[in-house]
Amino acid sequence: ILNVEQSPQSLHVQEGDSTNFTCSFPSSNFYALHWYRWETAKSPEALFVMTLNGDEKKKGRISATLNTKEGYSYLYIKGSQPEDSATYLCAPNTGNQFYFGTGTSLTVIP
């Protein structure tokens, strides 16, 4: 069992604010880290797959970095919009299964 911690658990920000979340995981036996965005009543949506130490990925206003040596990843959202409101999950994959954190719930207030 892999202990994956995400912080904060929840976050309320004003529209236009930038924000970031943290995902911490054991650095041994690491293969890849996946970030998902999960809106209520929908399927989790894949954001990024990150594999290499120092990896940086970007999709629009959302970006992520990865540090495999110390076991953490950051997800950044620049200029949050109400449609960014969702739960953001990180999931290391050490073989053929994901280990999910409990997520960061983001609410963007218009």
Site string for other proteins, 74-93 (x = CB under 8 A): ---------------x-x-x
Identify whether the C-beta of residue 4 lies closer than 8 Å to the C-beta of residue 101: yes
Q: Mask 4-43, x = binds other proteins (CB under 8 A)?
A: x--------------------------xx-x-x----xxx
- At residue 46, φ and ψ (nearest 5 deg) are -70, 130
3-state percent helix, strand, coil for the chain, nearest multiple of 5: 5, 55, 45
Per CB under 8 A, 1 contacts other proteins: yes
Q: How far is the CB of 110 from other proteins (least distance, A)?
A: 26
Among 10, 53, 81, 102, interactor with other proteins by CB under 8 A: 102
Q: Which residues contact 14 (CB under 8 A, 6 or more apart)?
A: 80, 108, 109
Q: Which stretches of the chain bind other proteins, using CB under 8 A?
A: 1, 4, 31-32, 34, 36, 41-44, 46, 49, 51, 89, 91, 93-103
